[in-house]
């Protein structure tokens, strides 16, 4: 096992900055998932760690050694690619053994490592087959086996499940998690899929435009997003954002839709009238006959849950996620529980934390009556 450090890592392609200064430490045996939209720089980051690209600035340090200038073959890193990259003319055994033969290991050692990895991955019966005779999931296992036999200090995964169907992705997620836990190898995993990120990572690095927007545990990213980008990217359906301004000496937000919402955890800093974005996840918005009117445009029954797509009186879109079958009736109203709201600055998008002791929560209806 080994630790990984990225020290001020940056990459420019001509005048375009693909990766801004990234500082990151991945602990021994940790699985850190890099997640973000296409073009955010996550694959560039992985290629810099692998040595497939050279950084414009900064350093890559593995197990205390600066490997920035080392060739990929000298880094003791194994990479699993999106497209598997298997040799079509070789058997499964030969694909997994290829890198070991280049390193001139003995036949006995090669056979031992390949058979151990095959047993771990359930490939024992497939070692004589060619890649064309394998399913997508089996090919991905072979690609993982090829990485495992090298016994590297660091695993790199570059969106390895993106070519699989939805059912197989769920199965392979569980297998990758189980394998990483069993092997205890430090792992950097890149994906655009937030479900993969949440289920696989010990920590997440959410990237935006070549920079790290937030690095934290999956639950911290979900429950305390650093800004509106992270809040909107993690979670499905995405978090709702309601325009508002600061009121009540920093203890409340007046929504453009009308109601006054108290902050359950204390006041926020800023002048009265400061523009805010109030975030609330669809699953945290309950129906409330005495609440805010919601004009529903679309109802999506999804079996175990139902999505309501609607608009508040100021035209702001709001998605509500309810358990069970669609509700009956035509008129809907919702409440916005103080415990569930997130407060962001409307200009910068940054999260606004409470600055004092928690204030006593006044129900929405009472605040609206006194506002």
CATH (domain of 164): 3.40.50.300
CA distances from 25 to 102, 108, 125, 187, 194 (A): 31, 37, 39, 12, 21
Q: Is the peptide bond prior to 313 cis by the omega test (within 30 degrees of 0)?
A: no
| Beta strands, E only, 27-131 | 31-35, 57-62, 65-66, 77-80
Q: Same domain for 220 and 244?
A: no
231 occurs within a structural domain: no
- Name the nearest CA neighbour of 263 among 352, 371, 370: 352
Confirm if 126 and 70 have CB atoms less than 8 A apart: no
Q: Same domain for 281 and 193?
A: no
Q: Same domain for 197 and 110?
A: yes
Domain termination site, one of 177, 199, 224 = 224
Looking at residue 369, its pLDDT comes to: 43
Structural domain of 260: 237-370
Q: Same domain for 193 and 146?
A: yes
CA distances from 80 to 19, 140, 211, 303 (A): 22, 8, 24, 36
Looking at residue 329, its pLDDT comes to: 76
Looking at residue 140, its pLDDT comes to: 87
Report the interhelical angle of 92-102 vs 107-121 (nearest 10°). Answer: 140
Looking at residue 1, its pLDDT comes to: 63
The label of the residue with tokens 């999956």 reads: 218
Token pair of 23 as six digits: 């500082």
CATH (domain of 303): 2.40.50.140
Q: Same domain for 137 and 245?
A: no
Predicted TM-score (pTM) above 0.95: no
The CA-CA-CA angle for residues 284, 351, 335, to 5°, reads: 25
Confirm if 53 and 9 have CB atoms less than 8 A apart: no
pLDDT in tens, the chain (371 residues): 689 999 999 999 999 999 999 999 999 999 999 999 888 999 999 999 999 999 999 999 999 999 999 999 889 999 988 887 889 999 999 999 998 999 899 999 999 999 999 998 889 999 999 999 998 889 988 998 999 999 899 999 998 888 788 888 888 888 888 888 888 999 999 999 999 999 999 999 999 999 999 999 999 999 999 999 999 999 989 999 999 999 999 999 999 998 899 998 889 998 999 999 999 999 999 999 999 999 999 999 998 999 999 999 999 999 999 998 888 877 899 999 999 999 999 999 999 999 865 434 344 444 444 44
Q: Same domain for 148 and 114?
A: yes
Report the interhelical angle of 136-148 vs 166-183 (nearest 10°). Answer: 20
232 occurs within a structural domain: no
**Alpha-carbon gap, residue 96 to 86, rounded angstroms:** 9
Looking at residue 326, its pLDDT comes to: 84
Confirm if 204 and 217 have CB atoms less than 8 A apart: yes
Q: Same domain for 180 and 248?
A: no
The label of the residue with tokens 């009186």 reads: 313
Q: Same domain for 92 and 203?
A: yes
**Alpha-carbon gap, residue 170 to 56, rounded angstroms:** 37
Looking at residue 81, its pLDDT comes to: 84
């Amino acid at each position: 096992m080994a630790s990984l450090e990225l020290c001020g890592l940056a990459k420019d392609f001509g005048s375009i900055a693909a990766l801004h200064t990234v500082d990151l430490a991945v602990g021994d045996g940790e699985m850190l998932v890099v997640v973000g939209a296409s073009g955010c720089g996550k694959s560039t980051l992985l290629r810099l760690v692998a040595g497939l690209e050279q950084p414009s600035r900064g350093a890559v340090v593995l197990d205390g050694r600066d490997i920035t200038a080392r060739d990929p073959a000298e880094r003791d890193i194994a990479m699993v690619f999106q497209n598997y990259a298997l040799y079509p003319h070789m058997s499964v055994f030969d694909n997994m053994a290829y890198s070991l033969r280049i390193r001139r290991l003995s036949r006995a050692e090669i056979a031992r490592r390949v058979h151990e990895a095959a047993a771990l991955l359930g490939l024992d019966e497939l070692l004589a087959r060619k890649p064309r005779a394998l399913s997508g999931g089996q090919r991905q296992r072979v690609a993982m086996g090829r990485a495992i036999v090298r016994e590297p200090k660091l695993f790199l995964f570059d969106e390895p499940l993106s070519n699989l169907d939805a059912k197989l992705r769920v199965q392979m997620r569980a297998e990758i998690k189980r394998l990483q836990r069993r092997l205890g190898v430090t792992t950097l995993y890149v994906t655009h899929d937030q479900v993969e990120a949440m289920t696989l990572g010990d920590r997440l690095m959410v990237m935006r435009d070549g920079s790290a927007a937030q690095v934290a545990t999956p639950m911290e990213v979900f429950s305390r997003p650093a800004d509106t980008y992270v809040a909107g990217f993690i979670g499905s359906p995405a978090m709702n954002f309601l325009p508002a301004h600061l009121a009540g000496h920093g203890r409340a937000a007046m929504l453009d839709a009308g109601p006054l919402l108290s902050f359950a955890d204390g006041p926020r800093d800023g002048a009265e009238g400061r523009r805010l974005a109030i975030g609330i996840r669809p699953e945290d918005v309950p129906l409330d006959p005495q609440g805010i009117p919601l004009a529903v445009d679309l109802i999506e029954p999804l079996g175990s849950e139902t999505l309501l797509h609607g608009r508040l009186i100021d035209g702001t879109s709001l998605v509500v996620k309810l358990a069970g079958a669609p509700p009956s009736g035509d008129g809907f109203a919702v409440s916005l529980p103080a415990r569930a709201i997130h407060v962001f600055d409307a200009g910068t998008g940054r999260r606004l934390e409470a600055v004092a002791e928690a204030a006593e929560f006044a129900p929405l209806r009472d605040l609206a009556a006194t506002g």
